[in-house]
Amino acid sequence: MDRKDLLNEATYDRNRAAEWFWQRSQVLGISRRRILQLLALGTGSTAATILAKPNQSHKAIANESGAIVKQVRPDWFYQMNTNLEMRWENMYDRGYIVPNHLFFVRNNNPTPLIEADRWRLNVFGDGVSHPRSFSYSELLQMPSVSVIRAIECAGNGRSFYQTAYGKAASGTQWKLGGIGVAEWTGVPMSEILERAGLQFTARDVMPISLDANKVQRPIPIEKALANDTLVVYAMNGDTLPRDHGFPVRLLVSGWVGIASIKWLGSIQVSRSSLFSLYNTQKYILIGEDYPVNRQLQAAGVLGKIATKQKPKSAFELSWDGEIPSGKRLLRGRSWSGVDKISKPIFLTNLF
């Protein structure tokens, strides 16, 4: 396999599951065929051993604020617990980039309050020759890059499962406001890994957050070294807001939002394949419509892993709004998790 293929998240997941499957058979001293037989039975202590829990190592501490920090106005957002969905009508005629105060918020927990002068980024694991930590001031002095990229929650549009398929999907019931485009400024992850003595045998990288859940989701070294995979400290020219990851977050361009870990506190670099709760039991699609091959099952994956986003579009209108009859100019925008939208489509005679 061309290592560039691992830049695609779905290909990466399948490849690492196959590697893990082979490694597990070596550790247990049984053939891969026998593992498949045991998994098919679904019982017994040996099968339980095969399905060992994925990596969930490393702990960190952060103070909890108990609330979203930014101003929450009902005319700007739909609020769902610790999540804020952008109201599309506020983007009318604003241009491509979403202002920080209107940018959607996807939090697994209340926004943690972390002080920059006490924050450290710890890089560790057998994939680096000299593990070390970086302070916030050190990070700001390193070479930086600015890119304009979209981040979209993996569940954006989730509420439409009920209306379109008659099957409700669990989780935050986003409409289409879990998407935002911003200019992100930060240090390429490659720069940080090189300063920690990246080994040529390194395979996977596990960014780990400082929030209550210690959110973590692995990426291959190929993606970690991409020019637009950044350790971000600024958003739209301002210091990264607390709700969006202050002091530092990760930007993994083109992958689902959960990969762009907020409140980044540590990075594990491994010479072997890594899995976590967030690509085996969460952020997956479960059901008869989403079959999983046995190798992924052996790695503890319970459903089809959510990866690239489908193309979507939205009018810059409120969901409960009304449009008077007659000719009207409607504005909207389209986006894709795969590539740029090649050309706009103009619709006429809608009514």
Mean pLDDT for all residues in the chain:
82
- Mean pLDDT, range 143-167, rounded to an integer: 88
Task: Determine the pLDDT at residue 117.
Answer: 94
Strands 304-305 and 249-252 come out as unpaired
How does pLDDT run across 242-256, given as a tens digit for each residue?
A: 999 999 999 999 888
pTM of the model: 0.81
CA distance 155 to 108: 13
Angle, vertex CA 207, rays to CA 202 and CA 209, nearest 5: 160
Burial-class residue 195 by CB neighbours within 10 Å (0-12, 13-18, 19+): middle
- Give mean pLDDT, residues 168-192: 92
Rg for the chain (alpha carbons), in Å? 21
Query: Mind listing the pLDDT tens digit for each residue in 59-110?
Result: 444 444 458 999 999 999 999 989 999 999 999 888 889 999 999 999 988 9
* Structural class in CATH, domain 76-274: alpha beta
Burial readout 97-129 (b: 16 or more C-beta within 10 A, e: otherwise): ebebebbbbbbbbbbbebebeebebbbbbebbe
pLDDT of residue 61: 42
Predicted confidence band at 344 (pLDDT cuts at 50, 70, 90)? low
List 335's β-bridge partners, or say none: 312
Domain ranges for the chain, please list them. Answer: 3-50, 76-274
- pLDDT top residue among 348 and 344: 344
Which has more pLDDT, 233 or 301? 233
DSSP tag of 71: -
Rounded to whole angstroms, the Cα distance separating 201 from 289 reads: 37
